[in-house]
Each structure stands twice: as C-alpha cells, then as structure tokens.
Amino acid sequence: MAVNRKEAIREFKARKVPRGVFEVRSAAAGRVWVESSPNLDAARNGLWFMLRNGSHGNKELQAEWNQRGAEALQFHVLETLDDDVPAMGLNDLLKEKKRHWAAKLSALMLSPV
C-alpha cells in the first residue's frame, strides 16, 4: 500500500499542469474578461470560488455574477503554453499573452497586468 501511495505522490508532482490564457464571457452582457494563469485547471475553480463567495477583486465581474449567476458566465481556454517554457520567463510570457488576447478580443482584464 505504501508503495502505491508513494508512486501516486510522485506521479502527482511530475504531472504537467496546463498554463496559459483564458476568458470569462457573459453573452447576456456582451462582456469578456481575460486572464492568464500558471495553472489553468485551478484557475476556473479559484475564480468560481471567489465569485460564489462575493470576494472577487474585479467589481464588474462580481456584479455580473451577482446579477445573472454562474449560468450566465462561460470559461474558455484561449491558449496554452508549451511545456518547454522555462519557469524563469513564465510570468512575463503569461502577461504578454494576456495583453495580446485582451487587445484581440477588445476584452477587459480580470486583474491588472
């Protein structure tokens, strides 16, 4: 049993986490917000958690959630980064990609760059 647990922990630590840029879209309001994340899997969960609790820092997005609910918002991954992107330049690359997608979609940013 201990061998399986150790192997599971090793596999968990070695897994590749998708990194990149995502959008949150409200078709009803005609608004789009863009954000980047070093962990796209966790980004949606964290975002929805903050919105459910009324604690998201973006007042406009929080108001949209409060007014229309979760059903009105869609989460879509726009771009994922290759696994070979070095950790040293990751944050700068994520910021650059976030600015690119915000401009391309005429979108708002969830947080400042």
Query: What CATH number corresponds to the domain at position 81?
Result: 3.40.1440.10
Amino acid letter, residue 48:
W
Answer whether residue 12 is part of any domain: no
Q: What is the pTM of this model?
A: 0.85
Answer whether residue 53 is part of any domain: yes
Answer whether residue 72 is part of any domain: yes
Answer whether residue 8 is part of any domain: no
Answer whether residue 28 is part of any domain: yes
pLDDT score of 97: 97
Q: Are 5 and 63 in contact (CB under 8 A)?
A: no
Amino acid letter, residue 27:
A
Answer whether residue 13 is part of any domain: no
Answer whether residue 5 is part of any domain: no
Range of the structural domain that residue 40 is part of: 18-109
Neighbouring CB atoms inside 10 A of 86's CB total: 7
pLDDT score of 4: 85
Number of structural domains (the chain) is 1
Answer whether residue 52 is part of any domain: yes
Determine what percent of the chain falls in helix, strand and coil, rounding each to the nearest 5.
Answer: 50, 20, 25
Tens digit of pLDDT for each residue in 52-109?
A: 999 999 999 999 999 999 999 999 999 999 988 898 999 999 999 999 999 999 999 9
Structure tokens at 74: 């869609």
Q: What is the mean pLDDT of residues 36-44?
A: 95
